[in-house]
Amino acid sequence: MFQKNVIMIACGLMLAACSKNEPKETVMDFTDNVKVALENGGKIDLNALKWTREPGGFEVKGDTIVITTAPHTDLWQRTYYHFQNDNAPALQMQTREKFFSFVVKTDFTQSHHRFDQCGIVMYLNSENWVKGSVEYENEQFQHLGSVVTNKGYSDWATTAIPADVKTMWYRFSRRDDDYCIECSTNGLDFSQMRICHVYEGADLISFGIYACSPEESSFTAVFSDMKITECAWKAHDGQQPD
């Protein structure tokens, strides 16, 4: 009996020693890019942004980001076309802030092939994301539109604009888990493109810019004048919530 107790005590000591040597799980430091930007007058640290898939080529020059797309890159899930494309590059920042706006200017002068596109994105995962952009169509017109993808199904809302429009500003705003996309040709006067709800967009989100070429094409997109502001999408002043 004495020998049995000694063995049990020894085993217990060995287990305790092993548990002390096991690596402890550490919580990675989280940098809230929106909070940091708001504390710095809206200025975004471009070096803190992270790629969700790198593009064919890119360059960061001062406050400008230049992206060169690779052929056959796109974002779309199922609806109507019945294919799933999930390989467009996106350069994003993270936040848990519930009320803010993100503004960026896009220059797509070099787009030249059907569906060449660049704009803003909130990419959470392959089946939940939002994007807004201008897509090249032909020498007469192009599509200014937005796509909202919830639970693996995309929609696409568009309007035709002249083909000679080569720059567009976007303003992406968050109010809790609801979102608004606006556009502007001068960076001052914004028009609403889309209000949407994102089912997985209630807490931590990633958002930023993207560019892609769904067909056999490549072009260079230029992003500039990026900033974070207090939420420009104000609370609704009409019918009150139920």
CA–CA dist 40, 238 (Å, integer): 34
Angstrom distances, CA of residue 7 to CA of 12, 15, 18, 20: 9, 12, 17, 20
Q: pLDDT tens digits for the chain (242 residues)?
A: 545 554 454 445 444 444 445 444 444 578 999 999 999 999 999 999 999 999 999 999 999 999 999 999 999 999 999 999 999 999 999 999 999 999 999 999 999 999 999 999 999 999 999 999 999 999 999 999 999 999 999 999 999 999 999 999 999 999 999 999 999 999 999 999 999 999 999 999 999 999 999 999 999 999 999 999 999 999 998 888 88
Fold classified for 31-229: Jelly Rolls (2.60.120)
| Predicted pLDDT at 60 | 94
| Predicted pLDDT at 1 | 52
- For residue 88 the two structure tokens come to 């467009």
From the list 193, 185, 175, the residue with the least C-alpha distance to 231 is 175
| Predicted pLDDT at 7 | 47
Residue type, 75: L
| Predicted pLDDT at 241 | 83
CA–CA dist 150, 132 (Å, integer): 15
